[in-house]
Structure 1
Amino acid sequence: MALLVVVSAGVVLKTANAKVGLSSLRSDNVGQGQVGHHARAPFPVLRFLGHRHGWEYAIVWLDKPNADNSTILGVSVSAAAGWAKEAPPPEKYLDGNSLKVAYYYNHIYGNTAVKYTDETGEFQDLITWNQLSDLARSYLNNTDWDETPLNAALLKMPMKDDVFMKKLKSAYPF
């Protein structure tokens, strides 16, 4: 099981399971008993050209979907080029059952990204994909979030039905 969390506007986020008020936006079985939970949020555009929406995210890989009794097996965060993956995650990036990540501007690549952090942040509430209305899910799936003049990285909105499992599989840290 994996929990994907997205970071917003420079705020350090910590992800946690539903026991402490944070639940995944979307999840699915990936393989070998792990389930991937994926959360996301759009970020402000920081460039004149390129992708219109910055979809940054972190995935927390758990041994079982039970929020009250699960173990973090690995973590993956979207990076400037691909993924940063850790299995098992270093203790300094964890706070109990929470992964600590930060949103930042990467001056080398000229883009935004998510990175692991040892700083303490705030918990952010998320809702599950199934808690969204049918209209909201349809809007997220059918809006062309990706069409821009210079989308060189071919970024795709990660919660779309045809993109979600591809993101989980490419982020698999084991």
Structure 2
Amino acid sequence: MSFRALVLTTVAIIFAVDASLPHDKIVPLIQPKPITTSDKAALKYKPQLYVANGCSSFPAVNAAGKTNGGLKGTKGASKCGVSPTGSQVYGRSKWYKGDWAIMFSWYFPKGFHDRKASRRHDWASVVIWLDNPARKTQKILRVSLSISDTEYKKIVHIPPIFFAGNRGNMRYGNVGGRGSNSSVKVYHGTKTSCGSFLRLSQYEGEYQDLIMWNQLPNVSRAALEDPKNFGDARVPFTDANFDKSLGMAF
């Protein structure tokens, strides 16, 4: 190998390594004030996330386009604790087959299958389907929750207990508290014979700063679009995947 080729190879390796940061060093973007009708609706319907097991959610990319390096898919939930910098929920919305779809996505540095750590990087998403974001009072038509990279579970009737601020007993159906009628509680977990999944939660979760696709810096969007940055995990809301994801969730 010539000296010039060696230098170019070394530089390429440095830039490749420099494209990501350790899983706990990514700083999330600050949630901006919503301006458009679609962004206001997204903030109104932003869900809570309750992590039962596996990894906590972490930010996937920072404002400079550096991506989360993730965690090796071994050693169970080791290093999967709460992100020291805070987390992020990513949003994107559009009309799809006559319904208004708002997708909310979370990133996890480690994926699980059959309750065992199985891969570096993971994503989960929920789609809130509305009749019209521009109406003064919108109606939730259904909720679709990811149960794998390519499958969603659809729920039409959402009992009050699954909305933020409401509490009660699932068995007896009694609900207390003056909760939300727009923000659902989402449960993230793992179980035998499948990977990580989402379902509606009766437990209170946490909110993360919401950043919409159109609010991301160009370098951050480009980093999310690059499939090499997230291994086998499919980013559900990129230009390449968003319509496909909505088709699975519809």
1:169 alignment counterpart: 247
> Offset of 1:165 from its aligned partner?
0.8
Q: 1:135-169: per-residue Cα shift (whole Å, max 9, x none)?
A: 11111112424544xxxxxx521122111111011
Matched, 1:158 2:236: yes
2:91 alignment counterpart: 25
> Offset of 1:31 from its aligned partner?
1.4
2:177 alignment counterpart: none
1:16 alignment counterpart: none
Pick the structure with greater CA Rg: 2
2:185 alignment counterpart: 100
1:132 alignment counterpart: 216
| Cα distance in 1, alignment partners of residues 139 and 47 from structure 2 | 17
The answer as to whether partners of 1:100 and 1:121 remain within 8 angstroms in 2 is: yes
Q: CA RMSD in A?
A: 3.2
| Cα distance in 1, alignment partners of residues 48 and 107 from structure 2 | 8
The answer as to whether partners of 2:47 and 2:185 remain within 8 angstroms in 1 is: no
Aligned residue among 151, 154, 165 for 1:85: 154
Q: Which AA in structure 1 matches 2:198?
A: V
| Cα distance in 2, alignment partners of residues 144 and 4 from structure 1 | 28
2:104 alignment counterpart: 39
| Cα distance in 1, alignment partners of residues 111 and 238 from structure 2 | 23
Gaps of 5+ in 1: 13-22, 149-154
The answer as to whether partners of 1:62 and 1:70 remain within 8 angstroms in 2 is: yes
SS at match of 2:95: strand
The answer as to whether partners of 1:4 and 1:40 remain within 8 angstroms in 2 is: no
TM-score by structure 1 length? 0.73
The answer as to whether partners of 2:128 and 2:144 remain within 8 angstroms in 1 is: yes
SS at match of 2:185: strand
| Cα distance in 1, alignment partners of residues 204 and 50 from structure 2 | 15
> Offset of 1:101 from its aligned partner?
0.8
Gaps of 5+ in 2: 1-37, 58-88, 165-180
Aligned residue pair count: 155
The answer as to whether partners of 2:121 and 2:231 remain within 8 angstroms in 1 is: no
Q: 1:58-83: per-residue Cα shift (whole Å, max 9, x none)?
A: 11111112386322110010014721
